[in-house]
Amino acid sequence: MPRRLIGGLVAACALLFAVPAGAQYYAGKTLTMLINYGAGGNTDIEGRVFQRHLSKHIAGNPNIVVLNKPGAGGLVGINYLGSGAVPADGLMFCFCTLNAVAPIINDPALKVKIQDFAFIAGVAQWSVGYIRKDVAPGMNRPADIAKATGVFAAGYNPTTTQDMRIKLTLDMIGAKYKMVTGFRSSNDVNHSILQKETNFSTSSMPSFEGQVMPNMVKQGIVIPVWYYEMSGPNGTFRTSPVLTEQKVPTFADVYKQVYGKYPSGPKWEAFVLINDISSAMLRAAMLPHGSPKAAVDELRKAFAALATDKDFVREYERVIRTKPELVSHNEGEAILSKLNGVDPKAVAVLKEVAGMK
């Protein structure tokens, strides 16, 4: 066969089987997963499960390393990702706990606009409140918290969703409390409760199931008092099968036990607003604004593939003790759109509770 013909056939085969350039964007590269809370906490525990399985779904199988950037209730990490210090080259993305409050109240500590990030995927997550049993006058059942005095509630930052949900629900239930804020991870929070520096907090499922249940609930140190339900269709609320099986009531159910009716009013409406955003997408994976389309598309595809990855699902259920509820980029962008055009009355309530004039 003439050499020219052979060369032509080789070239044709190369074109036929060539992989699109975008599909190999991450080949030979290292991808950094930025986590906006400290090592050993909820976000870190969950993020590392994703880290261990994500690369195999990315063309080129990049090495994925974790960078923890805690502080200011997660805002240090978020600000860093969008500050310009991180090149928009697709080589660093955040797996971050989303703060729904800061953008609504225009918290000056938030230096970036969350909606400007290239949204990749998210994770829905339940959050559970728990209190030491030795809080006066004694916490033996969830409804006892309405009579509690001397509550020292542990949080991360005055304007985080964590702190705001704690303040709104403790206000509504009538407990006498003070906030102790500035913790860098749920691991630090739980240590403070064990040391009796604080005595109440909330946690999402990684820390609640992995730390609070075995080390505090089963040891008789704390009791779960409620978890935060998510809004469902037509005025209903979604509940957690796992927490229901563990006989943990919802906040609304505890409120009804105490007052004989379900909660209502401005604080309840403000709570539902921020809780629905944060619970429906507590974690968000995002790239800096202006990141290459090839990187955005590849990471969206990889996160979507995890939903049917049996090894990922198996490890997630083992570590987090619940099934993963992955949020697609379309669903996530719809959730983020709720940060716009918020009712001024709700904004006013949130600012007041946050201590902003």
Give helix then strand counts, H and E, for the chain. Answer: 14, 13
Which domains does the chain carry?
A: 26-124+280-342 (3.40.190.150), 127-277 (3.40.190.10)
| pLDDT attached to residue 357 | 65
pLDDT digits (tens, 9 = 90+) for 264-278: 999 999 999 999 999
pLDDT digits (tens, 9 = 90+) for 182-211: 998 999 999 999 999 999 999 999 999 999
Quote the Cα angle for 258-166-35, to 5°.
Answer: 145
Residue 305 above 70 pLDDT? Answer: yes
Quote the Cα angle for 279-271-157, to 5°.
Answer: 75
Q: Binning pLDDT at 50, 70 and 90, where does residue 20 land?
A: low
Mean pLDDT on 51-67? 97
pLDDT digits (tens, 9 = 90+) for 76-122: 999 999 999 999 999 999 999 999 999 999 999 999 999 999 999 99
pLDDT mean across residues, the chain: 92
| pLDDT attached to residue 23 | 57
More confident position, 13 or 262: 262
User: What's this model's pTM, rounded to 2 decimal places?
Assistant: 0.87
Tell me the two tokens of residue 195. Answer: 């040391």
